[in-house]
Chain A
Amino acid sequence: MPYNPALVAPMRTEVTRLGAKELTTATEVDAALGDQKGSMLVFVNSVCGCAAGNARPALALALKHNVVPQQVVTVFAGQDLDAVARARQYFGEYQPSSPSMALLRDGEVVHFVHRHQIEGRSPQSIATELSAAFDRFFGAAV
């Protein structure tokens, strides 16, 4: 059962204020991820304090890097159920977890950050690895 929307609203804002486009329906997900071109980060938001509480500030830090994805979109697990289910269909063999982050290039998942790779780590540590992935997969030489 979804949490109270008022409780979740600040968690949504913490991501959308970074410029992430929020996708709340399957139709919106298809419009953003279907025939996707260029580089994109999909942030699967979550209420979980253990992991999401560090994932959101990690995203904020990583997006200050000199190489960043062209597009950032977000869906909210446990809240926008249809949107999340549809987004996961674009993640191929990567199993669902939340929070998580998928890096896509021309519709292909090139890197995935699972919940277990977020748990117990500082935002700085997560951001450092995420920035390295930006360099590797979205850098000018790619």
Chain B
Amino acid sequence: MSGHVFHPGHAELHGITVVVETSGSLTYVGRYDSQDEHGVLMLDVGVHDAKAAGVPKEEYVRKSAKFGIRTDHKRFVVPTADVTRITRLGELG
């Protein structure tokens, strides 16, 4: 079963934990599932709001990389128009 993939045919980032940055104050960290006309569907998603949070976005991402993601939503769609960058969390940790 080594290397066996259960979900062929999906996007390259399917199943990968990513950081989705937006044009607003919100940053999302979670597993990328898919993307369609509505936006990026993510699973087990943590959300950072730069307007509300006590820690900067960079610190939130760093802590997520070290300690894992504190899930705020099981499923969440980030509107495509809001997305400015998608980065693998593994590249940032």
Contacts and interface: CB of A to CB of B under 8 A. Distances in A.
B1 interface: yes
Interface residues of B, number: 21
A139 interface: no
A93 B67 contact: yes
A116 B65 contact: yes
A53 B16 contact: no
Contact of A49 (B6, B70, B90, B93): B6
B68 A49 contact: no
Contact of B17 (A10, A14, A115): A115
B2 A57 contact: yes
A48 B31 CA distance: 12
Contacts of A112: 67-68
Contacts, number: 67
B15 interface: yes
Interface residues of A, number: 26
B3 A54 contact: yes
B83 interface: no
A88 B75 CA distance: 22
A76 to B, nearest CB: 13
Contact of B93 (A10, A47, A96, A116): A116
B68 A56 contact: no
A120 B16 contact: yes
B38 interface: no
B88 A48 contact: no
A117 interface: yes
Contact of A119 (B7, B67, B90): B90
A81 interface: no
A56 B15 contact: no
B26 to A, nearest CB: 19
Interface string B58-93: 000000010111110000000000000000111001
A121 interface: yes
Interface of B: 1-7, 14-17, 65, 67-71, 88-90, 93
7 contacts: A14-B2, A57-B2, A93-B67, A94-B68, A95-B71, A116-B17, A116-B90
Interface of A: 10-11, 14, 47-51, 53-54, 56-57, 93-97, 112, 114-117, 119-121, 123
